[in-house]
Amino acid sequence: MSSTFTLYLKRKGGSQDSAQKAVTLLKTYLPEVIKKATGFSAADAVLVDENASPALLETDVIVYMVRDVSKSVIAKKGGSTAMAEANGNILGLTDLNLKICEVYFDRMYDGSPKELSGACYHEAAHILSNMDNSLHKDQNGFLKDSPDYNGSPTDKNNEFVGKHLGRKLSMNAGL
């Protein structure tokens, strides 16, 4: 099987310009992930508007970009955002049971596309690996606890994400 992995960023709030630039950055990160994956020949990142619901393959990931924690998709679907409410430095959350990843635009420094793309990469790694904060153990770069997104994902980050590509997720694009 040779297919394309797609990481969708669904904008439900925050800057369109920052989101588009973040997708452009994600497009530069993903080819390195594909080099570490089996069963995938290509990767793409796609910006989705709030009113659109792309047809996701069961291996695709969608990360919701919301204005702030009060607009959480996770909370709207009955999940907890207590961790993000308690710590203003958390840029995003993933609920593994609900299969929802989200990032909070108001927490990006000056609408930084670098932080936004890094937070999307980080939350996608959580959902792909089906790991909670235990994912951070022995990680560096974008996947460590309290990451700095001013660089690019490390080789170790790309290897970790690549290892988990192909896991069937069945995420919902219509939230």
Q: Check which CATH number belongs to the domain holding 40 and give it.
A: 3.40.390
Average pLDDT per run of 10 along the chain, which is 175 residues long?
A: 88 96 97 94 95 93 97 97 95 96 96 96 98 95 92 96 93 92
Torsion of CA 77, 164, 43, 91, to 10 degrees: 50
On whether residue 171 sits in a domain, the answer given is: no
Q: What pLDDT, on a 0 to 100 scale, did the predictor assign at position 148?
A: 86
pLDDT value of residue 2: 63
Determine, yes or no, domain membership for 12.
yes
Q: Are strands 3-11 and 100-104 parallel, antiparallel or unpaired?
A: unpaired
* Structure-token pair, residue 36: 């570490």
Rounded Cα gap, residues 55 and 38, in angstroms? 23
Assess if residue 157 is contained within a domain. yes
| Residue 174 within a domain | no
Residue 32 lies in a domain: yes
Q: Is residue 170 part of a domain?
A: no
pLDDT of res. 86? 96
The number of folded domains in the chain is 1
Shortest CA distance to 74 belongs to which of 48, 104, 105, 35?
104
Token pair, residue 45, equals 């990142």
Inter-residue contact 127 to 169 (CB < 8 Å) = yes
Q: Does some domain include residue 18?
A: yes
The verdict on residue 169 lying in a domain is no
